[in-house]
Amino acid sequence: MDRLALGPARVTDVAAPFAMSLTAVSKHIKVLERAGLVRRARNGREHTLELDAAPLGELTRWASRFERLWNERLDRLEAFFAVRKKEEPR
Amino acid sequence: MDRLALGPARVTDVAAPFAMSLTAVSKHIKVLERAGLVRRARNGREHTLELDAAPLGELTRWASRFERLWNERLDRLEAFFAVRKKEEPR
DNA sequence: GTATTATTGAACCTAAAGGTTAACTAAATT
DNA sequence: AATTTAGTTAACCTTTAGGTTCAATAATAC
């Protein structure tokens, strides 16, 4: 995905930096494709891959929901331990 | 994590909605703990869990990097296919 | 003090992830 | 026409994920 964020690329190009077989990378791409994160355009024997980052929006929204709560949570944690200290001073 | 976003809870509380053994949930929590997403405070026989969403920031940053590029990417895809059409009209 | 409750640990099982090699298809090159 | 290149498919293997049950530990409740 990092590679595809730079622009369209072929399977071989995407595979290049990895110390694993083309077959393995091909499988990974198929997974990303099924997940809707990658689009494929067949051009003769070459398959040109294109990133589709839209589905990551859902992930971001999910994660940022927690981020939004983060500081608030820290405060509560502090309060929680403060109470504990008070209640059981030994 | 959804449960913990609501506030601190015990292992049993977190496990309640799930149709799986306490042991299984306990394992899940251990994983989240190792990932730094959950903190544990031992209180007698009860373990109180607290969400620590900070590490999700990294995830959000990673994902939003692609989101940022998303529209730009769509444009490039369009251009890419436009060129193809021109170059091989059949 | 005995029983109950909260939780983990150990041993085990099954399914899925993630890789490999080898054989195949199809397009480009020579 | 023969070879090389791009990619997938099939069969296989090993590791990890994600559960289970049963036993252990430790604190609370009766």
| Range with lowest mean pLDDT among A38-52, A58-72, B4-18 | A58-72
Q: CA distances (Å), A76 to each of A62, A73, B4, B41, B51, in order?
A: 21, 5, 12, 14, 11
Q: What is the mean pLDDT of residues A35-48?
A: 95
Decide which of A60 and B69 is more confident: A60
Check if the beta carbon of residue B63 is closer than 8 Å to that of residue A51.
no
Q: What is the mean pLDDT of residues A11-37?
A: 96
Q: Does residue A71 have a pLDDT over 70?
A: no
Contact A80/B50, CB-based, under 8 Å?
Answer: yes
pLDDT on residue A90: 35
Phi, psi of B37 (to 5 degrees): -95, -15
pLDDT on residue A41: 95
Contact A52/B43, CB-based, under 8 Å?
Answer: no
The SS3 of residue B40 is strand
Other CB atoms within a 10 A radius of the CB of residue A14 amount to 22
Task: Note the pTM of the prediction, 2 decimals.
Answer: 0.76
Measure in Å the smallest separation between the Cα of A22 and chain B Cα atoms.
24
pLDDT on residue B58: 85
Of A53, A65, A69, the CB nearest to B66: A53
Decide which of A53 and A86 is more confident: A53
Check if the beta carbon of residue B68 is closer than 8 Å to that of residue B53.
no
Measure in Å the smallest separation between the Cα of B25 and chain A Cα atoms.
20
> Would you place residue B34 in the very low, low, confident or very high pLDDT band (cuts 50, 70, 90)?
very high
Q: CA distances (Å), A71 to each of A54, B37, B54, in order?
A: 28, 14, 9
| Range with lowest mean pLDDT among A10-14, A71-75, A80-84, B23-27 | A80-84
pLDDT on residue B79: 56
> Would you place residue B60 in the very low, low, confident or very high pLDDT band (cuts 50, 70, 90)?
confident
Mean residue pLDDT across chain A: 82
Q: Which residues pair with A51 in a beta bridge?
A: A38
